[in-house]
Amino acid sequence: MKVNVKTLGCKVNQYESQAIREQFASLGHTITKKKADLYIINTCTVTKTADKKSRKNILQAKKENPKAKIVACGCLAELNKDYLKKTGVDHIIAQKNKQNLINIILGDGLCPPASKDPWKLKINNYPHKRAFVKIEDGCDNFCSFCKIPYLRPKPTSRKKKDIIDEIKRLSADHPEIVLSGVNLNLYGKDLRPKNSLSNLTEDILNLNCLGRLRISSLQPLLIDNKLISLISHPKMCPHLHLSFQYGQNSILKAMNKKETVELYLERVAAIKKTYPKTAISCDIIIGFPGETERTFQQTVNFLKKVKPMRIHIFTFSAREKTPFAADNLIDKNTTKKRYITLSKLAKKLSLDYARLFLNQKLSMVAEEKKNGYITGYTQNYIKVNIKNEIKLGSTVGVKITKIDKNNKVFAQLAT
């Protein structure tokens, strides 16, 4: 049987999709990106746009092969079953059953036994040169803009041995490991004995087989000093993605965020004291109910102080189960203007950061060949383009030589 797994959303979804592919491949099924007998759509519902994209992928699969079986799993499949049923999907898999998706589709007689263990999903390889490793699931922050705590399990951590074993398997072919989770800062709090993200990170950095390590999204409130100290480790990527969401305290309070702008600035200062040129990327939501021109300008000023090298800008999207589920939105024209303003600022800050490294040596993982260039990310998350022929998956020294008007960064091999 030909199986096509399509993924929407976060690194956790991408990891879980790969684990599902490997389950089917282990039983002799063919994994394809083309026309298939079975389509598995791993959905996302973080915004209304994600909802639409998930539904669109289902409909496209049905159009590509009307006779195929269509399976929907992921976050949109948890609370929005009625919405998905209208697309005519054959199966909707709840989050708690995702690890048994293959059993539900093929029947227990054709698969390894079903399990209640959510960590049954694991991987031996990854489709990209930088491999994501899921170490945690779930969140209990209940931010007022987010429905994810209602869709994922309560915060659950993977055993350290399983994580270490998986990283050992992956490191042979993947020079960078990216730790991923729904709320990484909560790692280890449910384990007995308890563990922490900083302790786990230290153990991983001590692995001889490891190329380099990157940590995905973090909550600034829960970043401890030990984790900050590890940024200077030679195998640690000096890049942290911080979930700021906004840069003004009254809106942060309305978002049910536990941080303040002052705490954000203190954490960033501590990070840059440890490693001055640490790359900071972040999330910012605009158009949140209650936003004014004043609160927006304070957010702009906040970003000018932090100087993130990359800003992911989201327009507020009303979500079920949240206090702002009703469409109580800032008017679209105002939101659009603010989006444009932040986009221009983001482009400038990205350019400013890249310029800090002109003619300096960095380390790049060669990820893909595109339009005659080898592209990949440096340890501090600058995407570079290089003309030299380089083996994909290798790690090479590069020197940034040029940044064009679109902020595209070019480099040459460092000598």
Same domain, 170 and 51: no
Q: Is the pLDDT of residue 328 over 80?
A: no
Q: Is the pLDDT of residue 415 over 90?
A: no
**Domain membership flag for residue 117:** no
Q: What is the per-residue pLDDT across 347-360, written as a single tens digit (0 to 9) for each?
A: 999 999 999 999 99
Alpha-carbon distance 366 to 248, whole Å? 39
Q: Is the pLDDT of residue 327 over 80?
A: no
- Please confirm whether the linkage preceding 66 is cis (ω < 30° from 0): no
Same domain, 211 and 93: no
Provide the b/e sequence for 351-369 (b: ≥16 CB within 10 Å): eebbeebeeeebbbbbbee
Domain final residue pick, 110, 135, 163: 110
Same domain, 28 and 157: no
Same domain, 351 and 389: no
Is residue 323 very low, low, confident or very high in pLDDT (cuts 50, 70, 90)?
Answer: confident
Q: Is the pLDDT of residue 53 over 90?
A: yes
Q: What is the per-residue pLDDT across 101-121, written as a single tens digit (0 to 9) for each?
A: 999 999 988 998 999 999 999
pLDDT given for residue 91 in this prediction:
95
Same domain, 62 and 147: no
Strands (E), 226-349: 236-245, 279-286, 310-315
Same domain, 139 and 218: yes
Same domain, 175 and 275: yes
| Residue 87, domain CATH | 3.40.50.12160
Domain count, the chain: 3
**Domain membership flag for residue 118:** no
Do residues 316 and 339 touch, judged by C-beta distance below 8 A?
A: no
Same domain, 151 and 211: yes
pLDDT given for residue 79 in this prediction:
87
Same domain, 41 and 70: yes
Distances from the Cα of 392 to the Cαs of 18, 120, 132, 271, 374, in angstroms?
A: 20, 30, 17, 32, 8
pLDDT given for residue 243 in this prediction:
95
Q: Which helix (H) or strand (E) holds 19?
A: helix 11-26
Range of the domain at 67: 2-110
DSSP H helical segments within 67-157, as ranges? 76-79, 81-85, 101-106
Same domain, 56 and 203: no
Q: What is the per-residue pLDDT across 238-293, written as a single tens digit (0 to 9) for each?
A: 999 999 999 999 999 999 999 999 999 999 999 999 999 999 999 999 999 999 99
Same domain, 321 and 348: yes
Q: What is the per-residue pLDDT across 199-251, written as a single tens digit (0 to 9) for each?
A: 999 999 999 999 999 999 999 999 999 999 999 999 999 999 999 999 999 99
Q: Are strands 156-157 and 130-137 parallel, antiparallel or unpaired?
A: antiparallel
Q: Is the pLDDT of residue 304 over 80?
A: yes
Do residues 256 and 141 touch, judged by C-beta distance below 8 A?
A: yes
Domain final residue pick, 355, 374, 390: 355
Domain final residue pick, 50, 81, 110: 110
379-395 mean pLDDT: 95
Report the share of the chain in percent with pLDDT over 70: 99
Record the pTM.
Answer: 0.95
| Residue 389, domain CATH | 2.40.50.140
Q: Are strands 69-74 and 91-92 parallel, antiparallel or unpaired?
A: parallel
Average pLDDT value for the chain: 95
Is residue 75 very low, low, confident or very high in pLDDT (cuts 50, 70, 90)?
Answer: very high
166-174 mean pLDDT: 97
10 Å CB burial of residue 293 (0-12, 13-18, 19+) is exposed
Q: How far is CA 144 from the centre of its chain?
A: 20
Query: Residue 181: which residues within 8 A CB-CB, separation 6 or more?
Result: 12, 134, 135, 136, 137, 187, 216
pLDDT given for residue 414 in this prediction:
94
**Domain membership flag for residue 115:** no
Sign of the torsion angle spanned by Cα atoms 112, 113, 115, 117: negative
Do residues 152 and 134 touch, judged by C-beta distance below 8 A?
A: no
pLDDT given for residue 229 in this prediction:
97
Amino acid, res. 236: M
pLDDT given for residue 48 in this prediction:
92
Same domain, 285 and 144: yes
